[in-house]
Structure 1
């Protein structure tokens, strides 16, 4: 819907001829409802106008209001063209960037349509993920630090005999604005950063990992409260999420390929 809405906005802007410097001309063969100084207001223009307002099944009054608003808009566009008014550079570039952004999103949509993720790919990824999860859930508590030195200090405190819950309580008092720290409940290996996998699989319940665990978020001190066997999610329950994940991977590879094939000069 987002792609359609953005594309619709560009179609509307182009159809109303708000910028004669557009790179391409939109061909609109839908029925002409009326003309304003020979400039058409079409059914498609009205439909797109309403879509941009989030109206997919308009009532007659909404259609009439849209026609009236488009008519007034075209009158102003005609006046601007007659007076040879030009958009300021910032607005002209904004319109150009909107058109390019919409085209880029549409290009990705078309690429995915040609490279559809198959059920076989989804099933294969499901089996791979299930194998990694190993039917185990972990009750994890962790402290996150930006600086590894702070994580080492916390580990020194634990090594001296201080209980993890006491260290965690003091940590939470001074890091109250942080989310996803402390007790994060029951998780599987795929729900935590990749660097958690080895420590969690090595730890016994009621123990902490004796080295900082580094992720893209910072340095973690990990405590395993408990672990248990669990039934993996059904294929149908996670199918949509796996499909999105595989689509993201295909898109990222596509972007990397485009970048590799292109001449990007940082010193033009």
Structure 2
């Protein structure tokens, strides 16, 4: 059921928000910072694309300084696959961005911005991030590379995680456990579920016979979901207590009990395995390092 019990829909589905993971390597979008990066030459540590014969091809000059395909690739590593296949408007935007950075960098050099403490501190911070990123990339291209066998083994050992199971259900929501037990008794004695839902349910779906439509795991509050997915088609269960009251549940349909084909989840599996490998790699580095937190305000949980 939704966490909020308002409006004309049943409060059964969780109020889910899309949380996009923060990417510490996302493209830099602050003009000042990108200027500092170019001036510092820190892009030498950025993600290196696979060698290509066209990398040194000159595609423009800015105040007599050449711009090559490699410059574009290093500026925005996410385009390190052949950026020439990008739409014209994307390539034009890349060029505009690089021109702006080169001009701002040159202006910064003239004004000796690159000699200020602020610049030097930001350069050190960026160099740290860039070198860490390059180390991660090197690891994932070498000993940490995800193999096809690892992907298939993960799928084989975790098939239940790739089952997109759905059920259709209806429910009767009541204020007390006593009321719920009484209604359940009526249903067991042959009472019509839809009619009882329409006359007794305090939920918005009551007038519709308690119909909730179909839903997957993770869409309902845990207590409701646990009972609903444990029921067989046509089976009635409850009473189930949630923050909304007491529920009598009937499953009317079940679908999708087979795992999603591996070809459709390979990218997802690869990301999971990469995350696991990186976590273990960093733990290994931490175990070999001597780390002392001097200021308790920055204490790491579990240390």
Alpha-carbon distance, 1:76 to partner: 1.6
Aligned to 2:138: 110
Structure 2, unaligned stretches of length 5 or more? 1-22, 47-54, 185-195, 299-303
Distance 2:162 2:93 in 1: 52
Aligned to 1:161: 183
Aligned to 2:110: 79
Task: Give secondary structure in 1 for the equivalent of 2:267.
Answer: helix
Task: Give secondary structure in 2 for the equivalent of 1:233.
Answer: coil
Change (3 A) 1:62 1:211: closer
Aligned to 2:167: 138
Where do 1:48-87 residues align within 5 Å?
51=76, 56-57=83-84, 69-70=100-101, 72-81=103-112, 85-87=116-118
Change (3 A) 1:232 1:97: same
Alpha-carbon distance, 1:236 to partner: 1.4
Distance 1:49 1:17 in 2: 14
Alpha-carbon distance, 1:119 to partner: 2.1
Aligned to 2:193: none
Change (3 A) 1:202 1:27: closer
Change (3 A) 1:107 1:192: farther
Q: What is the alpha-carbon root mean square deviation over aligned residues?
A: 5.7
Structure 1, unaligned stretches of length 5 or more? 19-23, 143-151, 172-181, 214-219
Tell me which protein shows more helix as a share of its residues. 1
Distance 1:49 1:249 in 2: 27
Change (3 A) 1:254 1:141: farther
Task: Give secondary structure in 1 for the equivalent of 2:40.
Answer: coil
Q: Which moved more, 1:202-211 or 1:229-238?
A: 202-211
Q: Which moved more, 1:27-36 or 1:120-129?
A: 27-36
Distance 2:177 2:106 in 1: 71
Aligned to 1:16: 39
1:228 to 241, 254, 257: 254
